[in-house]
């Protein structure tokens, strides 16, 4: 699992890597510059478009200088704009500066006129994780000017002005792409910064996962390679029972679709038997929900222990009479998945939280979460509250959105790397409930069900949106679930 290192520890991490590999800081900077350049030339093949690289005085600026040299040697048209007298710049900046071919134009910020051709690249190498205060003075002046340009804007490591682990105060560089070294910086995952980071590209500069883990604390970015080990594998003789018998509870007049989508998602995730309970149904014989889904009537809910996992909430309606929910939580002692109106009911009757089976999984979006814990002024506070909620209630808290976070009772937080904006469509959360319930029913631990669940859900959204884009609907995500297993070679 890729550790997200706090900004204040990055220079220690770099030092440890330098020592372990027996290389110099300059060589590490060269790796960072090479990693950036490989991405750049792969993405933008045309050397005709001029590139302006704005370099601050620290190592972020040093990266910019090294990148300038490498791209120049490949035939790109480069101009450098620097801020400080060389003697005020970091030693690796100076060393790279001295290696620049004399033919690269170098300008000082104070005399630079911001008249650029319409089609240009602007590369922000002004400030990186060394930012220690909000932008002001000439730095702010520069960033505001850059933001006004129509160029393609690329940030090195992090857009200048965004604090690596906090929330932006004032303004920052508006990047179309942020090419970040080795791991995403925490703040790049905050919704507040979406317009600043643009697309995030993580490039490898050679620091090992083991070393990252030594410097990491409790935050991780989920990657494809982390998934196989968390999955269960089935064999030729596996039978329906091995794949689990799950129950999805929800739906109410006008909102039956929500629980049906969750149920279909559970089937597509591999559940052996999927039952669906629509409250208020006296007899299951009159209920036809979908060919493969078995309807369960109120009277048939005596033997909850027959189920391997239960998911509750999609389309349920807020339960003004909480006695059914209370009895469910009292009688079913395996982890449950709670979403939507299940969460809203918990917010209304918080004493029910004490009845949650250990390691249950709650899947709120921001609004549902704030109904449970109160308003949050920013994402940092939301993440902190998610961590304490999970600890206090011994549950797994999945906070949905871009870069969905998964908080575990032991304080660890995982951030999902799959998914896209096209998933912001009615019912996609219901699909997630079905996927996670299915994994639980197949015998996955709650942690693995949550991590595999959000990853496959996001990947299904990506796959379905390839051809559908804005027209994607939640049913398309369900139909793409099988392809996620094929892509990841999980059979
Ligand atoms: N060892 C290396 O050579 C490597 C360098 N990297 C790059 O180095 C960066 C970190 O470098 P540094 O630690 O030198 O830090 P920065 O280059 O981010 O900036 C540090 C300088 O900016 C000043 N500063 C901070 N906030 C400011 C503000 N608001 N206004 C004006 N000045 C401000 C600081 O006082 C300091 O002088 C990373 O983001 C990355 O780009 C690494 O990621 C890769 C390895
Ligand atoms: N911009 C986005 N990027 C990635 N995933 C997203 C984005 N917007 C929504 N999603 C995902 O879509 C799902 C939406 O869930 P939710 O808000 O509960 O929707 P609904 O109530 O309509 O089912 C969540 O899993 C969320 O992570
Ligand atoms: K930067």
pLDDT, tens digit (0-9, with 9 covering 90-100), for 168-197: 999 999 999 999 999 999 999 999 999 999
Extended strands (E) in 20-175: 51-55, 78-82, 106-108, 121-125, 152-156
Of 112-116, 160-164, 448-452, the range with the lowest mean pLDDT is 112-116
Q: What is the pLDDT of residue 299?
A: 81
Q: What is the pLDDT of residue 196?
A: 98
| Ligand 2 probe mutation, 368, 370, 371, 423, most atoms within 8 A of CB | 423
Question: Which residue is it, tokens 């070393």?
Answer: 211
- Rounded to 5 degrees, φ, ψ at 416 are -80, 145
Higher per-residue pLDDT: 98 or 278: 98
287 pLDDT band (50/70/90 cuts)?
Answer: low
CA of 54 to the centre of ligand 3 (A): 9
Q: What is the mean pLDDT of the chain?
A: 95
Q: What is the pLDDT of residue 150?
A: 92
Q: What is the pLDDT of residue 345?
A: 97
Helices 428-441 & 340-348, crossing angle to 10 degrees?
Answer: 90
Cβ partners under 8 Å of residue 302, min gap 6? none
Helix H or strand E encompassing 66 = helix 59-73
Q: What is the pLDDT of residues 71-99, one digit of tens each?
A: 999 999 999 999 889 999 999 999 999 99
Q: What is the mean pLDDT of residues 146-151?
A: 94
Distance of CA 318 to the CA centre of its chain: 29
Check whether 45 has a pLDDT greater than 90: no
Check whether 285 has a pLDDT greater than 80: no
| Ligand 2 probe mutation, 198, 424, 465, most atoms within 8 A of CB | 424
Q: What is the pLDDT of residue 204?
A: 97
218 is in an annotated binding site: no
290 pLDDT band (50/70/90 cuts)?
Answer: confident
DSSP state of 300: G
Beta pairing partners, 296: 277
Of 375, 432, 385, nearest in space to 404 by CA = 432
Rg for the chain (alpha carbons), in Å?
A: 26
Distance of CA 287 to the CA centre of its chain: 39
* Domains along the sequence of the chain with CATH: 2-218 (3.40.50.10260), 228-487 (3.40.1190.20)
Q: Contact 238/201 with Cβ under 8 angstroms?
A: no
Residue nearest to atom 1 of ligand 2 (CA): 421
The whole-angstrom separation of Cα 355 and Cα 272 is 28
Q: What is the pLDDT of residues 304-352, one digit of tens each?
A: 999 999 999 999 999 888 999 999 999 999 999 999 999 999 999 999 9
The whole-angstrom separation of Cα 7 and Cα 217 is 12
Q: What is the pLDDT of residues 348-374, one digit of tens each?
A: 999 999 999 999 999 999 999 999 999
Q: What is the pLDDT of residues 1-10, one digit of tens each?
A: 999 999 999 9
434 pLDDT band (50/70/90 cuts)?
Answer: very high
246 pLDDT band (50/70/90 cuts)?
Answer: very high
Of 410, 491, 483, 484, nearest in space to 454 by CA = 484
Q: What is the pLDDT of residue 409?
A: 98
Q: Contact 482/268 with Cβ under 8 angstroms?
A: yes
The whole-angstrom separation of Cα 387 and Cα 145 is 39
Beta pairing partners, 107: 81
Pick the ligand that lies closest to the CA of residue 169. Answer: 1
Residue nearest to atom 16 of ligand 1 (CA): 130
284 pLDDT band (50/70/90 cuts)?
Answer: low
CA of 423 to the centre of ligand 2 (A): 5
């Amino acid at each position: 699992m890729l550790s997200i290192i706090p900004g204040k520890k990055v220079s220690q991490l770099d030092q440890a890597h330098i020592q372990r590999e027996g290389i110099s800081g300059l060589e590490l900077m060269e790796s960072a510059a090479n990693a950036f350049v490989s991405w750049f030339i792969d993405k933008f093949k045309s050397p005709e478009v001029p590139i302006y690289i704005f370099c601050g005085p620290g190592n972020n600026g040093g990266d910019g200088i090294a990148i300038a040299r490498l791209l120049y040697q490949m035939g790109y048209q480069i101009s450098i704009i620097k801020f400080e007298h060389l003697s005020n710049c970091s030693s690796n900046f100076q060393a790279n500066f001295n290696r620049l071919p004399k033919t690269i134009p170098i300008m000082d910020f104070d005399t630079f006129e911001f008249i650029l051709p319409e089609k240009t690249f602007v590369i922000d190498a002004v400030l990186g994780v060394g930012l220690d205060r909000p932008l002001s003075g000439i730095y702010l002046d520069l960033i505001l000017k850059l933001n006004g340009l129509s160029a393609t804007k690329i940030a090195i490591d992090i857009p200048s002005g965004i604090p690596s682990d906090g929330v932006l105060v004032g303004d920052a560089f508006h990047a179309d792409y942020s090419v970040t070294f080795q791991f995403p910086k925490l703040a790049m995952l905050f919704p507040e910064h979406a317009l600043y980071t643009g697309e995030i590209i993580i490039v490898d500069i050679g620091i090992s996962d083991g070393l990252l883990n030594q410097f990491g604390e409790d935050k991780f970015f989920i990657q494809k390679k982390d998934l196989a080990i968390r999955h269960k594998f089935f064999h030729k003789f596996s039978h329906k029972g091995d794949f689990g018998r799950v129950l999805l509870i929800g739906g109410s007049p006008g909102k039956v679709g929500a629980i049906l989508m969750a149920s279909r998602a559970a089937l597509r995730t591999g559940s052996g038997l999927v039952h669906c309970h629509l409250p208020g149904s006296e007899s299951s014989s009159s209920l036809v929900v979908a060919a493969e889904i078995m309807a369960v009537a109120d009277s048939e809910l005596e033997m909850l222990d027959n189920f391997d996992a239960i998911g509750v909430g999609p389309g349920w309606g807020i339960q003004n009479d909480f006695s059914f929910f209370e009895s469910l939580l009292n009688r079913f002692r395996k982890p449950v998945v709670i979403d939507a109106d299940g969460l809203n009911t918990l917010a209304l009757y918080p004493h029910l939280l004490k009845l949650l089976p250990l390691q249950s999984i709650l899947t709120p979006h921001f609004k549902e979460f704030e109904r449970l814990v109160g308003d949050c002024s920013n994402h940092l506070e939301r993440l902190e509250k998610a961590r304490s909620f999970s600890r206090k209630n011994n549950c797994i808290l999945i906070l949905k959105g871009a870069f969905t976070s998964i908080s575990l009772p032991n304080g660890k937080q995982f951030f999902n790397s799959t998914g896209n904006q096209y998933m912001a469509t009615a019912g996609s959360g219901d699909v997630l409930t079905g996927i996670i319930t299915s994994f639980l029913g197949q015998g996955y631990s709650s942690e693995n069900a949550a991590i595999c669940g959000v990853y496959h859900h996001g990947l299904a959204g990506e796959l379905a949106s390839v051809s559908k884009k804005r027209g994607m609907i939640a049913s398309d995500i369900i139909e793409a679930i099988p392809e996620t297993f094929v892509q990841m070679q999980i059979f």
